[in-house]
């Protein structure tokens, strides 16, 4: 039997499941965000028919083969029909304010079930383990979110776990470290990733001002390693009512000052102008952590994890667009 897949765009045509190299179609919810936009391009290159769901029709992807559908996940009255896709990748916009409504994820999952979705991948955050994170963080480490952002993600994880049983989904919850890599829609952002912000300061101001103590730990997940891990998760056989939680991070933990100095040195190599790093003093004690990624490596194996290459692509974003930094408050 032939299966036609929803694709939009002036040059797009329905894709048949009988075509060579066909892969199952995927709906990326939050498809124009920093994570989602990069995933849409990656999944398309991998051979998946991709539809990006977002609140508005802009910005526009370079490839018209990426389908678009308008979807406001925080609005329960939004009843725009979802395309019939078996897999949904959720890269949520999570409000940092304490006033964010918690109901949207359940409403969305019911709509996905009605559209025939069987597999859901949810991008959560490693900060559900607590801030500051401390010690070895495995998937069985007790969660202790300390801010509205991580509390909201943990709430969504709980709803997903319940929905897997009630609606029969195969759910993969990916607890991400800080993502590093180019952003297809960087020029349109009112808020940018904290790594983009560091590079912006280095290029524009020739000084990187850290708000966090220099020894503040960070685990950095490169875009290429994220793609490698996601591909392995998507290629698994669907298991009804499975809930799998997986840490996604880089191979080691660095510090804010080490990252800032790496960005400064990279920028100096680009234009020859020195870049200095300023930071507050050190606290009396500084917790550190190791994000354990043994479980995802058992699924995906080892992938490319080249931080320098990804930082250079972030620098390219900044040089090509020269947009003043707006900040994220994540340093």
How do residues 59-96 score in pLDDT, each as one tens digit? Answer: 889 899 999 988 887 776 777 778 778 899 999 877 65
Residue 270 dihedral angles phi and psi, to the nearest 5°: -75, -50
User: What kind and span of H or E run contains 178?
Assistant: strand 178-180
Residue at 125 is within a domain:
yes
- Determine which helix (DSSP H) or strand (DSSP E) holds 174, and give its type and residue range: strand 170-176
Query: Using the 8-state DSSP alphabet, how is residue 248 labeled?
Result: E
Question: Helix or strand or coil: residue 112?
Answer: helix
Low-confidence winner among 2-6, 252-256, 266-270 (lowest mean pLDDT): 2-6
Task: Check: CB of residue 260 under 8 Å from CB of residue 208.
Answer: yes
Q: Where are the alpha helices (DSSP H) in 115-222?
A: 148-167, 194-204
> Which of the four pLDDT bands, split at 50, 70 and 90, describes residue 223?
very high
Q: Is residue 323 within 8 Å of 187, Cβ to Cβ?
A: yes
pLDDT digits (tens, 9 = 90+) for 263-311: 999 999 999 999 999 999 998 888 899 999 999 999 999 999 999 999 9
Q: Helix axis angle, 148-167 relative to 104-114, nearest 10°?
A: 30
Least confident of 3-7, 27-31, 94-98: 3-7
| Domains held by the chain: number | 1
Residue 279 lies in a domain: no
Domain containing residue 146: 4-180+221-250+286-303
CA–CA dist 28, 160 (Å, integer): 16
Question: What size, in residues, is the chain?
Answer: 331
Is 167 domain-assigned?
yes
pLDDT band at 11 (very low <50, low <70, confident <90, very high): very low
Q: What is the CATH number of the domain that holds 8?
A: 3.40.50.720
Alpha helices in 184-306 (DSSP H): 194-204, 223-234, 256-271, 294-300
What spatial distance separates the first Cα and last Cα of the chain, rounded to whole Å? 52
User: 149 in the Ramachandran plot: left (φ > 0), alpha (ψ -120 to 50) or beta?
Assistant: alpha
Weakest mean pLDDT among 71-75, 121-125, 255-259: 71-75
Q: Report if residue 319 sits inside a domain.
A: no
Q: Is the pLDDT of residue 135 over 80?
A: yes
Which DSSP category does 162 fall into? H
**Does the residue 230 lie in any domain?**
yes
């Amino acid at each position: 039997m032939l299966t036609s897949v929803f694709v939009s765009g002036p040059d797009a045509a329905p894709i048949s499941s009988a075509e060579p190299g066909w892969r199952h179609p995927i709906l990326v919810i939050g498809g124009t965000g920093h994570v989602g936009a990069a995933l849409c391009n990656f999944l398309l290159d991998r051979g998946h028919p991709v539809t990006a769901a977002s609140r508005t029709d802009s910005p526009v992807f370079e490839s018209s083969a990426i389908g678009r559908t308008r979807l406001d996940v925080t609005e329960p009255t939004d009843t725009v029909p979802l395309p019939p896709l078996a897999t949904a990748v959720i890269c949520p916009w999570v409000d940092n304010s304490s006033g964010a409504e918690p109901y949207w994820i359940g409403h969305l999952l019911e709509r996905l079930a009605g559209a025939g979705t069987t597999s859901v991948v949810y991008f959560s955050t490693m900060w559900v383990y607590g801030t500051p994170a401390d010690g070895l963080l495995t998937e069985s480490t007790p969660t202790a979110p300390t801010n509205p952002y991580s509390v909201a993600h943990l709430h969504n994880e709980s709803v997903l776990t319940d929905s897997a049983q009630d609606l029969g989904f195969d759910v993969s919850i990916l607890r991400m470290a800080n993502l590093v890599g180019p952003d297809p829609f960087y020029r349109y952002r009112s808020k940018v990733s904290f790594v983009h912000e560091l590079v912006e300061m280095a290029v524009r101001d020739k000084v990187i001002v850290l708000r966090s103590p220099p020894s503040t730990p960070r685990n950095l997940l490169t875009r290429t390693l994220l793609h490698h891990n996601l591909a392995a998760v998507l290629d698994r056989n669907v298991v009804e009512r499975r809930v799998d939680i997986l840490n996604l991070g880089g191979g080691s933990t660095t510090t804010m000052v080490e990252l800032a100095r790496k960005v400064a040195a990279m920028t100096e190599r680009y234009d020859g102008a020195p870049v200095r790093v300023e930071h507050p003093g050190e606290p009396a004690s500084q917790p550190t952590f190791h994000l354990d990624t043994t479980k995802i490596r058992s699924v995906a194996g080892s992938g490319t994890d080249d931080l320098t290459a990804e930082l250079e692509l972030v620098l390219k974003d900044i040089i090509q667009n020269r947009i003043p930094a707006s900040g994220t408050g994540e340093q």
